[in-house]
């Protein structure tokens, strides 16, 4: 579930309002600015907090992850889950280290195009979603603009995505995702390095660095 949601990224509610197309021009100006800024970066590395909860459950416990993004490539580390995901734009490696057992599952990136990846959270609004500017609020002392994306069609895996954008810097600082099971996944960047230069092999899984690993190739 977490890979489908992050991987990356980035909250949709199916309601009667979906019958009407809504492309808020004010929201689009903000989304375009965020997307253009991201695409101009040589790379991005960030530490983030995330949590997942289901309606009616107690407050979720936050965990910490690390993400590196370069174009359509990403490298995601979720230490609390013993999981590391590499995507070089063509192949996706999902590595799990339980401490006593190591396994990597390999998929073609094209087979996972419907997933919400860390890199696509910056461009998801461009196809299949309505969007609206819902207001502003202070988040950890930063004035953010709240933009809500809703799926144009019912039955999508992500019902609603809410993006939080630094109003002054036009940086994405956090987002929430509501999935088709009623679960809410929340992300918030804690630190971001937008000047990092990452080699392409940083996004490729190298089994020799991890010792004995069982390989499950689903390509």
State pLDDT tens for residues 126-173: 888 899 999 999 988 899 999 999 888 876 667 788 999 999 999 999
- State mean pLDDT over 9-21: 35
- Per-residue exposure over 24-48, b if at least 16 CB sit within 10 Å of its own CB, e if not: beebbebbeebbeebeeeebbbbeb
pLDDT tens for each residue of 113-123: 656 666 677 88
| Torsions phi, psi for 9 (to 5 deg) | 65, -150
Rounded to whole angstroms, the Cα distance separating 2 from 93 reads 15
pTM beyond cutoff 0.85: no
Q: Which of 111 and 69 is assigned the larger pLDDT? A: 69
**Tokens of residue 95, six digits:** 């590595």
The region that residue 118 occupies, defined by phi over 0 for left and psi between -120 and 50 for alpha, beta otherwise, is alpha
| Torsions phi, psi for 41 (to 5 deg) | -80, 145
Could you identify the residue written with the tokens 């992850």? 65
Q: Which of 23 and 2 is assigned the larger pLDDT? A: 23
> pLDDT-based confidence at 5, cuts 50/70/90?
very low
Answer for the pair 162, 175: CB distance below 8 angstroms, yes or no. Answer: yes
DSSP 18: G
Beta bridge partners of 184: 53, 178
Answer for the pair 93, 104: CB distance below 8 angstroms, yes or no. Answer: yes
DSSP 73: E
Which residues contact residue 182 at a Cβ distance below 8 angstroms, ignoring those fewer than 6 apart? 54, 55
Please tell me whether residue 42 adopts helix, strand or coil conformation: coil
What's the longest Cα–Cα distance across the chain? 54
Rounded to whole angstroms, the Cα distance separating 67 from 123 reads 17
Rounded to whole angstroms, the Cα distance separating 128 from 71 reads 21
CATH superfamily of 2-217: Lipoprotein localisation LolA/LolB/LppX (2.50.20.10)
Residue 201: per-residue pLDDT: 94
Answer for the pair 127, 116: CB distance below 8 angstroms, yes or no. Answer: no
Rounded to whole angstroms, the Cα distance separating 177 from 184 reads 6
Residue 132: per-residue pLDDT: 94
Domains of the chain by residue range: 2-217
- Of 3-12, 34-43, 95-104, 115-124, which range is least confident? 3-12
């Amino acid at each position: 579930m977490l890979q489908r949601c992050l991987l990356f990224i980035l909250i949709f509610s199916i309601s009667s309002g979906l019958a009407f197309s809504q492309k808020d021009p004010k929201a689009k100006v903000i989304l375009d600015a965020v997307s253009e800024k991201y695409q101009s970066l040589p790379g991005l590395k960030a530490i983030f907090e995330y949590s997942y909860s289901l309606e009616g459950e107690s407050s979720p416990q936050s965990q910490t992850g690390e993400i590196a993004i370069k174009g359509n490539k990403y490298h995601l580390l979720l230490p609390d889950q013993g999981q590391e995901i590499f995507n070089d734009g063509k192949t996706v490696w999902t590595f799990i280290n339980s401490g006593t057992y190591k396994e990597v599952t390999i998929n073609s990136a094209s087979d996972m195009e419907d997933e919400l990846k860390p890199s696509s959270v910056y461009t998801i609004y461009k196809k299949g979603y309505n969007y609206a500017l819902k207001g502003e609020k202070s988040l950890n002392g930063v004035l953010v603009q709240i933009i809500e994306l809703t799926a144009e069609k019912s039955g999508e895996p992500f019902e609603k995505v809410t993006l939080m954008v630094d109003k002054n810097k036009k940086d994405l600082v956090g987002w929430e995702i509501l999935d088709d099971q009623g679960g809410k996944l929340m992300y918030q960047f804690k630190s971001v390095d937008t000047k990092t230069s990452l080699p392409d092999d940083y996004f490729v899984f190298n089994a020799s660095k991890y010792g004995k690993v069982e390989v499950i190739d689903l390509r």
